[in-house]
Structure 1
Amino acid sequence: MKSKAHGYLFALAATTIFSFQDAVSKHLGDQYSPIFITMIRYWAFGAFCILLASRRQGGWKAAAQTTRPILQIMRGVLLASEIMMVITAFAHAGLAHTTAVLSATPLVVTLLSIPLLGEHVGWRRWSAIAVGLVGVLLILKPDASGFLDPWLLLPVGCCFMYAIYLIATRLVSRTDSSATSFFYIGVGGAVTATLVGPFFWTSLEGWDKAWMGLLCITGMTGHYLVIRAYELLDASAAQPISYLGLVYASLFGVLLYGESLTWNMVAGSVIVVGAGVFTFWREYVRRHQDTGQSAR
């Protein structure tokens, strides 16, 4: 029980730190290129992944060994690209609005797992997906003229990109260790960002150097806490805690950046989070049912 309690504390701390990181990313994204910000962030993250891998048995060479190199490299490229888009969305669509749309990612994962992973989804989870997508439409609610802010399509794209990344992670987890998968998102992402980042190089001014340093530190700390959390908890237990990030994003958006929370954003977010939590619960129940049947 004590280990589980520690796992929840790690998950809560990771969510809090990542939410603060998002707020810092928005501040920097308002003034600098998201590609440049991502490159600096990934230099620190990539170094952290190499250091972490070197401390394990076999060192970083063992961590780099994979049976699915193309899929692992694709994960690194996909995540780095998604982060560039998210920072852009923070700057133009807003912190709270972007996070509200991204909260639908678990529903998109469940939806895409049917054709991509061949998983079976029962009517209960299908119902949760349908309800959750209604919530997303409510968040994206067009104005009186029927016009949808085109910047809101950016977090929708991020949502699908991150869902595909998570599905790819499930695929590689069937053959590769978590250490290998973590190594590739750090190093693969750093290489991807470095290929394009220098073209957007900008000198950081004043306190922005400190903010960039803080962005790198929070990224490394957050990922470390996620690793510790998943060592002690099942994904279905840890993931719902990440919805607290939506509360943090709303607070940071309103208090720091003067964003407004409209009724449709709040109502849509409640619907999406409720549908997501129900989906995790059904997945937990189904997995334990399958375990019970296989044990007989």
Structure 2
Amino acid sequence: MALFTNKRNIGIALTILSTLIFAMQDAITKQLVSDHPVWFIMMVRFWVLLVIAVGWALVSKQGFYSVLRTKRPGVQLLRGLFLFGEIALISFAFSMLGLADVTAIFQAHPLIVTGLAAVFLGETVGWRRILAMLVGMGGLMVMLQPEGNIVGPGAFVALGASLSFALYQLFTRLASRDDSALTSFLYVGIVGTVLSTIIGSQYMMAMDEVEWGLLLGICATGTSAHFLLMKALSLAQASDIQPFNYLQLVWAIPIGFLVFSDLPVWSTLFGAMIVVGAGLFSLSRQRIRAIEKADGSSDPVIDAGIAKTQAD
């Protein structure tokens, strides 16, 4: 088909597929954390991730020790801590709330990244993107309003996961200035494995074949989804595929209903629409500014084709 002969279209298709697989991973996680310790599940996940990261480093052209060498050890440590915190918090949130509810709140992270990048990285954020952030925060308030069904500890745990992931992305940007992507990947595995083993080893438990299958399913879906996303970024520009990451919420709603009989209430859906809309607007402004900076143009009407911006 001609549709899939264009690299950009293939990249978008792979991104859409990755969002579906991520939603499936979240569903399996929610199923497991209802009866099993989060820390034990995380320990297994990080050990699998570390094995993959070490194996990748060993076969890379850089060589293992070159990959291991980092110019920003403190930043890499913080990246690992924030990703560890995000996975822990969102896993606990899944044990408290519905799949779509957690996913909806988590979608605030691109807006949080925009605000943090302006404060800590000195990135220029125009008034339109500031307005988009405020509108997005308003969407969060709609989701968290008392008449909804998600207000409570679980909602704030999910919001904490979103903040932690935003901080992880912020420090990833800092690390990328001096370290390769493979170095960053390896350190996430090292930090996460050390922390999860220290805590998770105290929660060791026996599991049957089905439970081990689900746990390995989490590892398999996470690995395959990240691979698809990396492949997508090699085929299409980040600004082209970023908006499609919001489709994870679209997948989470039917999966949550089919697997857990969960349906979000109107306030969650309406608030999520506001957050996603604000996020998409912010991304479009980011892309426009990138193009203007690249070609010196100040024309606000720019073909939506193209700008190479760093993925959040």
Q: Residue 227 of structure 1 corresponds to which residue in structure 2?
A: 230
Q: Residue 78 of structure 1 corresponds to which residue in structure 2?
A: 82
Does residue 256 (structure 1) correspond to residue 246 (structure 2)? The answer is no
The amino acid across from 2:93 in the alignment is A
Q: Residue 37 of structure 1 corresponds to which residue in structure 2?
A: 41
The answer to whether the 8 A contact 2:143-2:150 is kept is no
Q: Residue by residue, what CA displacement relative to the aligned partner does 1:143-168 show, whole Å, maximum 9, x if unpaired? A: 39x99412211011111111010000
Q: Which runs of 5+ in 2 are unaligned?
A: 298-312
CA drift of 1:269 comes to 0.8
Once the two structures are overlaid, the 10-residue window that deviates more, 235-244 or 265-274, is: 235-244
The answer to whether the 8 A contact 1:72-1:181 is kept is yes
CA drift of 1:279 comes to 0.7
Identity of aligned residues (%): 35
CA distance in 1, matches of 2:122, 2:81: 24
The answer to whether the 8 A contact 1:35-1:200 is kept is yes
Q: Residue 280 of structure 2 corresponds to which residue in structure 1?
A: 277
Q: Residue 169 of structure 2 corresponds to which residue in structure 1?
A: 166
CA drift of 1:172 comes to 0.9
TM-score, length-normalised on structure 1? 0.94
CA distance in 1, matches of 2:176, 2:127: 27
Once the two structures are overlaid, the 10-residue window that deviates more, 45-54 or 165-174, is: 45-54
CA distance in 1, matches of 2:292, 2:253: 37
Residue in structure 1 matching 2:213, options 210, 213, 222? 210
Q: Residue 68 of structure 2 corresponds to which residue in structure 1?
A: 64
The answer to whether the 8 A contact 2:71-2:179 is kept is yes
The answer to whether the 8 A contact 1:254-1:261 is kept is no
Aligned to 2:217, the other structure's residue is in SS state helix
Q: Residue 238 of structure 1 corresponds to which residue in structure 2?
A: 241
CA drift of 1:206 comes to 4.3
The amino acid across from 2:109 in the alignment is T
Does residue 114 (structure 1) correspond to residue 118 (structure 2)? The answer is yes
Aligned to 1:143, the other structure's residue is in SS state coil
Q: Residue 302 of structure 2 corresponds to which residue in structure 1?
A: none
Q: Residue 188 of structure 1 corresponds to which residue in structure 2?
A: 191
The answer to whether the 8 A contact 2:67-2:182 is kept is yes
CA distance in 1, matches of 2:238, 2:185: 16
CA distance in 2, matches of 1:21, 1:9: 19
Q: Residue by residue, what CA displacement relative to the aligned partner does 1:236-283 show, whole Å, maximum 9, x if unpaired? A: 222211111001111121221121221111111111111101111110
CA distance in 2, matches of 1:163, 1:86: 13
Tell me how many residue pairs correspond in the alignment.
Answer: 293
The answer to whether the 8 A contact 2:75-2:171 is kept is yes
Q: Residue 181 of structure 2 corresponds to which residue in structure 1?
A: 178
CA distance in 2, matches of 1:11, 1:230: 9
Q: Residue 103 of structure 1 corresponds to which residue in structure 2?
A: 107
> Larger % of helix: which?
1
CA drift of 1:64 comes to 1.3
TM-score, length-normalised on structure 2? 0.90
Q: Residue 133 of structure 1 corresponds to which residue in structure 2?
A: 137
**Root-mean-square deviation over aligned CA pairs:** 1.8
Residue in structure 2 matching 1:200, options 200, 203, 208? 203
CA distance in 1, matches of 2:27, 2:150: 28
CA distance in 2, matches of 1:192, 1:234: 34
